[in-house]
């Protein structure tokens, strides 16, 4: 039993792809990232990503990891022995943080603190939801949904910066990569856009609602729910069998909203940051 690391995305895809596809709901983030990196290895930044897989004595993949610097390393579910072994396998790499299943975070964080002589603190606790049956509200808010286009770029850049600032992520996505496949839905109140939802491209018949954002001044009017419904319907209309999304467990409003819309909990994860 051991971790194998590589910088070759195609080697990783060939070796660990079957493991990832076996649980497309839980692995939605990883599957989306792998496909983006197969298209452009620098999708998430200028530095080379690192990929890894944990094999059983029989040679079966039982866990994976991936890091796209400067972002945290992300892990799938892991067998218990794979957690301390991951600390050794990644030793010497400057990890800014880790994104792990809740069951593995304490073991990896403790090991990394000791090995790398850093401090660790929890940045965010998240929950993955999967759509069961979409529930439409009896009265939608005024307006309608439309696909974002090139003329919306500057608005989208500002909203993406605000979204990532609000959830505590040091990143700013380029809207063009979502516009290229019609991945951004806007809710327009008849005068201007008031909310947005971004969906991923399908991965093993699963689409993820990646971001939902409404400017603070427009909140509390039902726009977030309406644009999420529109994005979900677009995903289902494109042939997706499953629609999933992640929430911040510290935000009771969004967690309650998505459950009202018919999303049900699947998995909890924790994101930790490492500092000197």
Contact present, 96 and 44 (Cβ < 8 Å): no
Whether 140 and 234 map to the same domain: the answer is yes
Q: Are 30 and 6 in contact (CB under 8 A)?
A: no
DSSP string of 62-113?
A: EEEEEE-TTSPEEE----TTHHHHHHHHTTTS---EEEEETTTHHHHHHHHH
Measured CA to CA, the distance from residue 272 to residue 250 in angstroms comes to: 15
3-state secondary structure of 30: helix
| Residue position matching structure tokens 């500092």 | 275
| Residues 105 and 143 both lie in one domain | no
**Domain carrying residue 219:** 131-266
What is the CATH number for 258?
Answer: 3.40.630.30
pTM above 0.75, yes or no: yes
Total domain count, the chain: 2
Residues 113 and 146 in one domain: no
Per residue of the chain (276 residues), what is the pLDDT tens digit?
Answer: 789 999 999 999 999 999 999 999 999 999 999 998 999 998 888 899 999 999 998 899 999 999 999 999 999 999 999 999 999 999 999 999 999 999 999 999 999 999 999 999 999 999 999 999 999 988 999 999 999 999 999 999 999 999 988 887 766 678 998 999 999 999 999 999 999 999 999 989 999 999 999 999 999 999 999 999 999 999 999 999 999 999 999 999 999 999 999 999 999 999 999 998
Which runs of E-coded beta strand occur in the chain?
2-6, 50-55, 61-67, 73-75, 97-101, 119-131, 144-147, 184-188, 193-199, 206-213, 242-248, 263-275
């Amino acid at each position: 039993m051991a971790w194998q690391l590589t910088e070759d995305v195609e080697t990783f895809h060939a070796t660990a792809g079957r493991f990832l596809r076996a649980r497309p709901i839980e692995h939605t983030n990883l599957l989306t990232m792998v496909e983006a990196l197969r298209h452009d290895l620098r999708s998430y930044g200028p530095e080379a990503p690192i990929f890894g897989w944990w094999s059983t004595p029989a040679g079966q993949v039982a866990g994976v990891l991936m890091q796209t610097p400067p972002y945290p390393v992300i892990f799938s579910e892991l067998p218990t022995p794979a957690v301390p072994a991951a600390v050794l396998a990644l030793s010497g790499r400057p990890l800014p943080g880790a994104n792990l299943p809740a069951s593995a975070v304490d073991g990896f964080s403790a090991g990394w603190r000791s090995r790398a002589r850093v401090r660790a603190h929890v940045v965010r606790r998240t929950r993955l939801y999967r759509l069961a049956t979409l529930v439409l509200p009896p009265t939608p808010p005024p307006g309608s949904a439309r696909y974002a286009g090139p003329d919306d770029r500057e608005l989208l850049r500002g909203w993406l910066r605000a979204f990532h600032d609000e959830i505590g992520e040091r990143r700013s996505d380029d809207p063009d990569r979502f516009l290229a496949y019609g991945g951004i839905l806007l809710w327009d109140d008849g005068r201007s856009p008031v909310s947005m939802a971004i969906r991923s491209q399908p991965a093993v018949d699963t689409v993820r609602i990646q971001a939902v954002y409404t400017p603070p001044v427009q909140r509390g009017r039902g726009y977030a729910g309406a644009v999420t419904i529109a994005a979900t319907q677009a995903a289902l209309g494109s042939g997706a069998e499953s629609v999933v999304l992640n929430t911040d467990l510290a935000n009771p409003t969004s967690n309650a909203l998505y459950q009202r819309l018919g999303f049900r909990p699947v998995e909890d994860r924790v994101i930790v940051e490492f500092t000197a």
